[in-house]
């Protein structure tokens, strides 16, 4: 199964001050409506944010993720 990033831009959690993307489901390893939280602890430049994938939990390696890029939606494979 694939997940869809629900927000093209992250929203900021007011309690932790972290920016959060929500992905409802990536593979069968995740339960329905379970969230993957990616915390951004560095500054971004323009509209790009680079996150080392080893800091993303649960592990995304080997999974397909559907990414929205403006009006285009594409499937990408996660490889570490």
The more confident residue out of 77 and 50 is 77
- Give me the pLDDT at residue 56, please: 61
- pTM for this predicted structure: 0.24
What are the pLDDT digits (tens) for 15-69? 766 666 554 444 445 555 666 565 555 566 666 666 665 666 656 666 666 776 6
How far is CA 78 from each of CA 6, 43, 46, 61, rounded to the nearest angstrom?
18, 23, 23, 5
Q: Rounded to whole angstroms, how far apart are CA atoms 62 and 9?
A: 24
Pairing of strands 19-20, 3-4: unpaired
The token pair that represents 9 in the structure block: 């831009």
How many domains would you assign to the chain?
1
Q: Can you give the residue range of the structural domain that contains 14?
A: 1-80
């Amino acid at each position: 199964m694939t997940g869809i990033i629900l927000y093209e831009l992250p929203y900021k959690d007011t309690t932790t001050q972290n920016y959060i993307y929500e992905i409802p489901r990536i593979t069968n390893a995740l339960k329905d409506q379970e969230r993957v939280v990616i915390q951004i602890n560095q500054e971004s430049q323009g509209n790009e944010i680079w996150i080392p994938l080893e800091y993303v939990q649960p592990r995304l390696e080997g999974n397909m993720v559907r990414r929205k890029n403006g009006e285009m939606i594409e499937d990408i494979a996660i490889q570490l």
